[in-house]
Amino acid sequence: MDTTTATVALGATPPTAADVVAVARHNAAVALTDEARAALAAGRRHVDALAERPVPAYGVSTGFGALADRHIPTELRTKLQRSLIRSHAAGSGAPVEREVVRAMMLLRLRTLTTGRTGVRPVVAETLVAVLNAGLTPVVLEHGSLGCSGDLAPLAHVALALMGEGEVDDATGTRRPAAEALADAGIEPVVLAEKEGLALINGTDGMLGMLLLALEDLRGLLRVADVATAMSVEALLGSDRVFADELQQLRPHPGQAVSAANLRALLDGSPIVASHQGPDCTLVQDAYSLRCAPQVAGAVRDTADHAATVAARELASIIDNPVVTADGEVSSNGNFHGAPVGYVLDFLAIAVADLASISERRTDRALDAKRSHGLPPFLADDPGVDSGLMIAQYTAAGLVSQLKRLASPASVDSIPSSAMQEDHVSMGWSAARDLRRSIDGLAQVLAIEVMTAARALDLRAPLTPAPATAAVLATLRERVAGPGADRHLAPEIAATVDLVRSGTLVAAAETVTGPLA
């Protein structure tokens, strides 16, 4: 289990995106500051005062959603909160990934520690203890509409805090929550007024997945530039179109970053230099080469916009009702997932297009009519050998799937709760689709790297740029060079691993320095 020694302290300052990744993926410890404990205690005093009033207060002494018109007497309020969690833990399908659940738990804890939800300190302390013990509630994939929070997923987390349902322990073993809590020395929490509602009324699932996706996409964008540079060389393309002077004519920041990466990666390329003389008959490269920084740059700018939205959401207090500064409990609509849902959908569109342009470069390298002297499908003995023909099929199939995943979830509202919740965001669904899209992009880029690498080998005695040569050498430690047909699936899997781990980018950066 990957563990970091860092501790994420929750208080007045919201956690950063890096904090969320550290807890979700690297098991960073979580701690409550004295400031957070004071805010929790102050917020609870307000809820206790409201609970004693004869006038009903939503979420404190009433039912929920379409049942909010029923006043609940004091003796039934513990049952009310317990029943809320049990009934809302209505997910279905496969369990979601551990990192998603841990991100969701941290983000819900962040809102609790502001004191604006009115939960007792013991609720936050129990959530901290569960995170630090490495216990992960089993959260099922389907059930959230992305409005009134990620209700069902968060309810599965709350169920575990109550000692019910199932968790995966630090070894990955699935166990009854009560048993795992007992072994970790954690007392299950008995929920009081408003606490059940406070545990489930947030955008934490979709936000957590957005932050994790952005972390992955930043790395894959650098891979995309590396793959592009390799393809430019493999296809005897020109680096002149990436000149800074030309990029400044259209001052999109992401485009400038991508073009700068390409210039660094192609610097000193003997292959590029070999066809820059006056006798070269290649006038213009295809769009998939020439327009690469425009596309990858637009994806970068989209990611930057999504990161801005994520930062705002990290600084938000999401609950309904929420404890106001004057101690009242006020109904609101801040739980609506539209801001997060929109950028999740937008990113899925951008990811699909980045994969699409990558696949086009792969296809071009395999087509003898367009590859400028390379053998058909880069085969050793074309006709007897098929080379990388079917690797392109795999990339094409993935791109087709990514295009379907890019259909926006956020336009597909379905009313719920007897029409009380008549417009929802579907942000959770958008986030699940984006995770699949990011996974597909990594595979498509890996196939381009494999293809371009084989093409570069076949350009010998011409050699690639120092940076792309370093990438090629690193790949060849895991994947053999040109030769007779062999089982390709393991080679694709090995390349995907090098892509996801950042190993290929790190190899390039030994020459270029850090790529942006």
Q: Based on the domain organization, do 456 and 424 belong to the same domain?
A: yes
User: What are the tens digits of pLDDT across the range 42-94?
Assistant: 999 998 888 888 777 777 777 666 666 777 787 888 888 999 999 999 999 99
Predicted confidence at residue 58, as pLDDT, reads 73
Return the sign of the alpha-carbon dihedral for residues 201, 345, 215, 138: positive
Pinpoint the alpha helices (H) of 162-267: 177-183, 195-200, 204-234, 244-247, 253-266
The answer to whether 342 is a known catalytic residue is no
Can you list the residues of the chain whose pLDDT is less than 50? none
Q: Based on the domain organization, do 120 and 266 belong to the same domain?
A: no
Q: What is the CATH number of the domain that holds 41?
A: 1.10.275.10
Judged on CB neighbours under 10 Å (0-12, 13-18, 19+), 419 is exposed
Question: Residue 146's domain spans which residues?
Answer: 7-202
pTM, entire model: 0.95
Residues of the chain by 3-state class (helix, strand, coil), percent to 5? 60, 5, 35
From 58, 287, 342, 393, the catalytic residue: 58
Pinpoint the alpha helices (H) of 27-162: 34-51, 77-88, 98-112, 121-132, 151-161
**What residues contact 445, with CB distance under 8 A and at least 6 apart?**
220, 223, 224, 227, 355, 358, 499
C-beta of residue 516 within 8 angstroms of C-beta of residue 226 = no
The three-class DSSP label of residue 486 is: coil
Predicted confidence at residue 291, as pLDDT, reads 98
Domain's final residue, options 202, 229, 259:
202
Q: Based on the domain organization, do 114 and 54 belong to the same domain?
A: yes
Predicted confidence at residue 74, as pLDDT, reads 79
- The answer as to whether 271 is a domain residue is yes
Residue with tokens 């919201």: 14
Share of the chain above pLDDT 90, in %: 82
**What residues contact 249, with CB distance under 8 A and at least 6 apart?**
none
Q: What would the two tokens of residue 448 be?
A: 């381009």
Q: Based on the domain organization, do 116 and 131 belong to the same domain?
A: yes
Paired residues of 7 in beta bridges: 29
Q: Based on the domain organization, do 281 and 399 belong to the same domain?
A: yes
Domain count, the chain: 2
Judged on CB neighbours under 10 Å (0-12, 13-18, 19+), 33 is middle
C-beta of residue 427 within 8 angstroms of C-beta of residue 206 = yes
Predicted confidence at residue 269, as pLDDT, reads 96
Q: Based on the domain organization, do 469 and 441 belong to the same domain?
A: yes
- The answer as to whether 452 is a domain residue is yes
Q: Based on the domain organization, do 242 and 186 belong to the same domain?
A: no
- The answer as to whether 481 is a domain residue is yes
Q: What would the two tokens of residue 11 be?
A: 């208080």
- The answer as to whether 479 is a domain residue is yes
